[in-house]
Amino acid sequence: MSDWGMQKAALGERLAAGRQHARGKVVPIPSLPAFLKAVIRSGDRVCLEGDNQKQADILATALANLDARDVHDLHMVQSGVVLPSHLHIFEKGIARRLDFSYSGPQSARIARMLFGGKIELGAVHTYLELFARYFIDLTPNVALIAAVSADKDGNLYTGPNTEDTPTVVEATSYKNGLVVAQVTEIVDKVPRVDIPGDLVHFVVEAGRPFYVEPLFTRDPAAITETQILTAMLAIKGIYAPYGVRRLNHGIGFNTAAIELLLPTYGEKLGLKGKVCTHFALNPHPTMIPAIESGWVEQIHCFGSEVGMEDYVAARSDIFFTGPDGSLRSNRAFCQTAGLYACDMFIGSTLQIDLEGHSSTVTTSRIAGFGGAPNMGSDPRGRRHPSEPWLKAGAEADPDSSAALRRGRKLVVQIGETFGDSNVPLFVEQLDALELARKLDLDLAPVMVYSDDVTHIVTEEGIANLLMCRSKEEREQAIRGVAGYTDIGRARDAKLVEQLRQRGVIRRPEDLGIDPLDADRRLLAARSIKDLMLASGGLYRPPSRFRNW
Amino acid sequence: MEKLSFRLTATRSAGGTRAQAMVGVVASGNLEVLLERSVPADTCTIDIATAAHGFDKVWDAVVRDFVARRSAGGLRISINDGGARPDTVALRLAQGVRKIEEPER
């Protein structure tokens, strides 16, 4: 007869060991090292909360300060490998295996450690995919999470940056895992209960807020005229003809330029109310002018953005807010919204090959993908129609029966033909392939697969890949917008011209875009200060973005 | 400083009546383009002074595309380049022919 209840018993042992170092549920900071050593077992699967924005930084440091003789061979399952301490954990041999989604600032170091054999890589996931695995085969034994405040019963207030917390807690706590939260302070009553206390086993009063990276702040002062031209192409050549109302914007200056052109260029084109009304999007500061001029009806957020808290609270007609007034973000729900309820994803990348595969992974940097592979993919389970979805489906497959034809999500990759340090956006072969070979991976880390990409936009024009009928046409359509990169210069000029006649490639002059409009005066805000003023002083930019 | 010169046949002559136009500034990653209406209508000459050496093939491609795609006939164009990327050069040239078409104000 099997001995049922083993996991509950194991949790009971961890709880008992933890209580030796706690008063009720509260672990005093000086006891944190001994506490972690007592509740974490070698070989545990540990979720250290952290994504591209919020970080359980106090718990990360404490975990990295453990002695590898006491705790080792952990399997880290976490959205983001972002803090130096996240990699110290591997450097010291406390953890060995890693499954993650995003590693922005640590991308070079994580690559070195993978090559050096310090990390055994499971896979680079998209957020929603990693969350899904928390419930199937990567369920954490221990979750180390972050919140704003807790009461003595463990009820948590996560504030505007709720992000991954409900998902991590759900997967861990209901499967007999241990949940430990760092909070800024312990209070008598939390402003709102984001996580019920009976799911939280211990809280650590950190005495300071968890770290949040202002990742979605783009200074309008750095937007170039080429980016403005590219943004005009996207608005006039994609947003307008498809009537894209429900969408997600990636991070980057290209989409920031689009956001800042809506109240000026978009207004001139008569697009207000016809495009960009509903978003799955973080509260980008560059959205302020469009929101203030009445373009946007509703925005659901993955996370918050540093400095946008008061603005969001004052715009509850647009954002999802709690009874306490602050933003309620939720990465899992927003990623689901971006997958199923948006008709377009538009974002930038680092490399695009001749088939249209794209990746931000290069041989020396493994940046991870965050949410891009999810939102930048065509959801095969979608069943509700919408105008852009149906139109894209018809372009891809004009001859099949309309009532049986799947629509297509618009997946747009946007960028200048030459990126930072004049590195070309277009390549013969993705670096991701070389990386997969070197690390002996079964799968090259591709961010957006070629069969999901529908359009590529550069300053030279728009390539509509839905309308390509052969591999050769697809290649020439990509070469045809690749500008003066080696890939672009090796185009078949005659074929490219034919594609242009068919409207597969459209250039600024084909769309009646005046190059003289590619001027910074067309931006609805030209600096961070302009954004602050446009918000009526509600947006409080972090100091690193203040130059006045 | 590298100097390059092109004399190309143009199928479309520049619009408008302005004698000259100027766009851009000489700065790192930027360029200054001076356009003067002073050569035969079926010709476009382009003289380039650039701080970046060894990019003559890219310049050749950029100026040929420009003359093929835009109305550049009759123009003598002088470029002072501060190491601009080709996309910036193409944009400035396109802006230049638009500016010389504009009515005098």
Query: Does residue B105 have a pLDDT over 90?
Result: no
Q: What is the DSSP string of A122-191?
A: EEE--HHHHHHHHTTT---SEEEEEEEEE-TT--EE-TT--TTHHHHHHHHHTTT-EEEEEEEEE-SS-S
Cα separation, A30 vs A36, whole angstroms: 11
CB of A31 closer than 8 Å to CB of A203 = no
Cα separation, A234 vs A50, whole angstroms: 33
One domain for residues A275 and A423: yes
What does the pLDDT read at residue A1?
A: 58
CB of A392 closer than 8 Å to CB of A408 = yes
Cα separation, A409 vs A388, whole angstroms: 8
One domain for residues A196 and A242: no
One domain for residues A371 and A507: yes
Q: What is the DSSP string of A109-126?
A: HHHHHHHTTSSEEEEE--
Select the residue from B87, B91, B102, B105 to test the A interface by mutation, using most A Cβ atoms within 10 A: B87
Q: Which ranges of chain A have pLDDT less than 50?
A: none
One domain for residues A56 and A205: yes
Provide the 8-state DSSP code for A238: I
Query: Does residue B15 have a pLDDT over 70?
Result: yes
> What's the sign of the alpha-carbon dihedral A430, A433, A435, A436?
positive
B27 touches chain A (CB under 8 A): no
**SS3 call for A283:** coil
One domain for residues A449 and A524: yes
- pLDDT digit string (tens) for B18-29? 999 999 999 989
Residue B6: exposure state from Cβ atoms within 10 A (0-12, 13-18, ≥19) = middle
Q: Where are the domains of chain B?
A: 2-53+73-101
A489 touches chain B (CB under 8 A): yes
Select the residue from B91, B93, B98 to test the A interface by mutation, using most A Cβ atoms within 10 A: B91
One domain for residues A271 and A376: yes
Cα separation, A312 vs B28, whole angstroms: 39
> ipTM, 2 decimals?
0.93
Element holding A39 (H helix, E strand)? helix A32-39
- Which of the listed residues A187, A212, A237 is the one where a domain comes to its end? A212
Q: Phi/psi of residue A395, each to 5°?
A: -65, -35
One domain for residues A167 and A291: no
CB of A157 closer than 8 Å to CB of A192 = yes
What does the pLDDT read at residue A305?
A: 96
Amino acid in the structure at residue A336:
T
Chain A: residue nearest B94 by CA? A515
One domain for residues A164 and A240: no
Residue A169's closest CA among A147, A195, A150? A195
Chain B: residue nearest A423 by CA? B85
Q: Which among B62, B91, B102 is the nearest to A515, CB-wise?
A: B91
Residue A263's closest CA among A536, A526, A539, A542? A526
Radius of gyration, CA atoms only, chain B = 13
Cα separation, A457 vs A425, whole angstroms: 11
Query: Residue A540: inside a domain, yes or no?
Result: no
What does the pLDDT read at residue A422?
A: 85
Chain A: residue nearest B99 by CA? A516
The alpha helices in A174-308, defined as continuous H runs, are 225-234, 240-242, 253-261, 267-268, 288-292
CB of A129 closer than 8 Å to CB of A374 = yes
Q: Which among B86, B87, B98 is the nearest to A516, CB-wise?
A: B98
Q: Phi/psi of residue A347, each to 5°?
A: -160, 170
A497 touches chain B (CB under 8 A): no
Q: How far is B10 from chain A (nearest CA, A)?
A: 18
Check which CATH number belongs to the domain holding A308 and give it: 3.40.1080.20
A483:B95 CB<8 A = no
Check which CATH number belongs to the domain holding A23 and give it: 3.40.1080.10
Query: Residue A512: inside a domain, yes or no?
Result: yes
One domain for residues A501 and A425: yes
Query: Residue A542: inside a domain, yes or no?
Result: no
Q: Which among A459, A484, A489 is the nearest to B91, CB-wise?
A: A459
CB of A434 closer than 8 Å to CB of A363 = yes
List the domain range (segments joined by +) for residue A46: 15-212
CA angle A91, A94, A100 (to 5 degrees): 75
Going by C-beta distance under 8 Å and a sequence separation of 6 or more, which residues neighbour residue A42?
A: A71, A72, A73, A74
User: What residues of chain A lie within 8 A of the CB of B70, using their CB?
Assistant: 509
B95:A417 CB<8 A = no
Beta bridge pairs of residue A345: A248, A411
Query: Residue A290: inside a domain, yes or no?
Result: yes
Angle, in degrees to the nearest 10, between helices B56-69 and B86-101: 30
Full-model pTM: 0.96
A509:B69 CB<8 A = yes
Q: What is the biggest distance separating any 2 CA atoms in chain A, rounded to whole angstroms?
A: 80
Q: What is the DSSP string of A368-422?
A: B-TTHHHHTS--TT-----HHHHHHHHHH-TTS-GGG-----EEEEE--SB-GGG
B87:A459 CB<8 A = yes
One domain for residues A256 and A342: yes
Q: Phi/psi of residue A432, each to 5°?
A: -55, -30
What does the pLDDT read at residue A529?
A: 97
- Which of the listed residues A189, A212, A235 is the one where a domain comes to its end? A212
Q: Which of residues 41-100 of B touch A (CB under 8 A)?
A: 58, 61-62, 69-70, 85-88, 90-91, 94-95, 98-99
Residue A146's closest CA among A177, A176, A169, A171? A169
- pLDDT digit string (tens) for A248-289? 999 999 999 999 999 999 999 999 999 999 999 999 999 999
B33 touches chain A (CB under 8 A): no
Query: Residue A546: inside a domain, yes or no?
Result: no
CB of A283 closer than 8 Å to CB of A306 = no
One domain for residues A108 and A70: yes
Radius of gyration, CA atoms only, chain A = 24
A-to-B residue pairs, Cβ atoms closer than 8 angstroms? 48
Q: Phi/psi of residue A124, each to 5°?
A: -95, 115
What's the domain count of chain A?
Answer: 2
User: What residues of chain B lie within 8 A of the CB of A507, using their CB?
Assistant: 69
Q: How far is B63 from chain A (nearest CA, A)?
A: 11
- Segment B23-49 shows an average pLDDT of 95
One domain for residues A195 and A232: no
Query: Residue A10: inside a domain, yes or no?
Result: no
Query: Residue A360: inside a domain, yes or no?
Result: yes
- pLDDT digit string (tens) for A114-155? 989 999 999 999 999 999 999 999 999 999 999 999 999 999
Helix (DSSP H) and strand (DSSP E) numbers for chain A: 21, 21
What does the pLDDT read at residue A419?
A: 87
Chain A: residue nearest B100 by CA? A516
